[in-house]
């Protein structure tokens, strides 16, 4: 295919640190549609969804990943919107695993459709799953997600464990006065189960009316968790932004992801591709590189590799949440970008 840079690893200098950073992780949003409307992600009225023809086809996504793979990409997370509502999700996973050879292939899902799909997802080549779950109270769950059924999610989690999609990670966004009293309950889960519980700070996006005071920082969450027992730091960071710990005597892992209080840009190893083919070097920057026209007119591999390199080189050293004030009007909802 004549891509001269195909074997070059995606590395770039991190300004101010004098080190090299390896960009080997791609998050792909495969749809902006969702079967929920979580209060921290979307406005009550929902968001304008893309037209079908705007969304990248499986063939287009696979070609992009093939080129990125030759450029150093090894890990892919599929997200959305809700990725499991995409009709051909199993074929996409099969192609990414079997045809491209992605080593670490995972998905982030709200879990509503997981029970019926876990086995097929595993069979298609999915390695791991992250389930977003912010409360263990059915009524709260209905309120936070604007209509979701908690027991369906739990059945999905058990089906994923049964299918061997491990380690199973649970993403929890603590919101002040809404579910932050459940932080310890989530942490306690790790005594019984080998789940990874990841507490994620509430971020400003165009889909929510973010106020700094609504965000429960990782420091606050950690203090709550530490009241249960000794927290031992774990050396592995899984190549991502999570700072990981284990409570003494626990089986599972507790992770803190702190995009607001402790921006981790210097170690950020990822690019994001939206469902309509916009490549984003950073979640909190308006900079986007539109790869869809190049995929649609079948530009040369080298041209696409150049766009990937441009995205890698544009990754910022830091972002600006603390400077954004109360809202971030230029940002769209995470369901549209791909969270």
Query: Are the C-beta atoms of residues 191 and 250 closer than 8 Å to each other?
Result: yes
Q: How far is the CB of 128 from ligand SF4 (least distance, A)?
A: 17
Q: How far is the CB of 257 from ligand SAM (least distance, A)?
A: 8
Query: Are the C-beta atoms of residues 180 and 199 closer than 8 Å to each other?
Result: no
* Between 132 and 269, CB nearer to ligand SAM: 132
Q: Does 34 bind ligand SF4 (CB under 6 A)?
A: yes
Q: How far is the CB of 39 from ligand SAM (least distance, A)?
A: 9
Query: Are the C-beta atoms of residues 96 and 62 closer than 8 Å to each other?
Result: yes
Q: List the Cα angle 177/264/276 in 5-degree steps.
A: 85
Q: Does 78 bind ligand SF4 (CB under 6 A)?
A: no
Q: Does 260 bind ligand SF4 (CB under 6 A)?
A: no
Q: Does 110 bind ligand SF4 (CB under 6 A)?
A: yes
Among 37, 122, 280, 292, binds ligand SF4 (CB under 6 A): 37
Binding to ligand SF4 by CB under 6 A, coded x per residue (else -) over 130-149, reads --x-----------------
Residue numbers 170-229 binding ligand SF4 by CB under 6 A: none
* Between 72 and 148, CB nearer to ligand SAM: 148
Among 30, 38, 76, 100, binds ligand SF4 (CB under 6 A): 38
CB under 8 Å to 123, separation ≥6 — which residues?
none
Residue 200 binds which of ligand SAM, ligand SF4, none (CB < 5-8 A, kind-dependent): ligand SAM
Q: How far is the CB of 160 from ligand SF4 (least distance, A)?
A: 16
* Between 24 and 182, CB nearer to ligand SF4: 182
Calpha distance 35→115 (Å, rounded): 15
Query: Are the C-beta atoms of residues 252 and 166 closer than 8 Å to each other?
Result: no
Rule CB under 6 A: which residues touch ligand SAM?
A: 34, 40-41, 79-80, 82, 108-110, 132, 171, 173, 200, 202-203, 205, 208, 334-335, 339
């Amino acid at each position: 295919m004549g891509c001269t840079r195909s074997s070059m690893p995606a590395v770039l200098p991190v300004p101010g640190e004098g080190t090299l950073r390896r960009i080997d992780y791609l998050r792909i949003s495969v749809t902006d549609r969702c079967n929920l409307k979580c209060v921290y992600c979307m406005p009550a009225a929902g968001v304008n969804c893309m037209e079908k023809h705007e969304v990248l086809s499986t063939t287009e996504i696979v070609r992009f990943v093939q080129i990125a793979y030759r450029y150093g990409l090894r890990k892919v997370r599929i997200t959305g919107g809700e990725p499991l509502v995409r009709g051909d999700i199993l074929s996409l996973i099969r192609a990414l695993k079997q045809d491209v050879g992605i080593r670490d292939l995972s998905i982030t899902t709200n879990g509503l459709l997981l029970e019926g799909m876990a086995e097929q997802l595993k069979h298609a080549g999915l390695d791991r799953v992250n389930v977003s779950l912010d409360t263990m109270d059915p009524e709260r769950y209905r309120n936070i997600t604007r209509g979701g059924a908690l027991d369906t999610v739990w059945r999905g989690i058990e089906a994923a464990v049964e299918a061997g999609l491990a380690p199973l990670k649970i993403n929890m966004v603590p919101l002040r006065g809404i579910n932050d009293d459940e932080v310890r309950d989530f942490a306690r889960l790790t005594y019984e189960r080998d789940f990874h519980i990841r507490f994620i700070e509430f971020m400003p996006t165009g889909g929510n009316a973010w106020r700094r005071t609504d965000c429960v920082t990782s420091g606050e969450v950690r203090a709550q968790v530490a009241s249960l027992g000794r927290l031992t730091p774990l050396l592995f960071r899984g190549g991502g932004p999570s700072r990981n710990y284990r409570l003494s005597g626990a089986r599972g892992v507790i992770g803190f992801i702190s995009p607001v209080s402790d921006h981790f840009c210097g170690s950020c190893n990822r690019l994001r591709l939206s469902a309509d083919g916009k490549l984003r070097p950073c979640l909190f920057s308006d900079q986007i590189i539109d790869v869809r026209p190049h995929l649609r007119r079948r530009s040369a591999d080298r041209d696409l590799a150049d766009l990937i390199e441009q995205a890698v080189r544009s990754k910022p050293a830091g972002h600006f949440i603390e400077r954004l004030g109360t809202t971030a009007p230029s940002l769209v909802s995470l369901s549209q970008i791909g969270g």
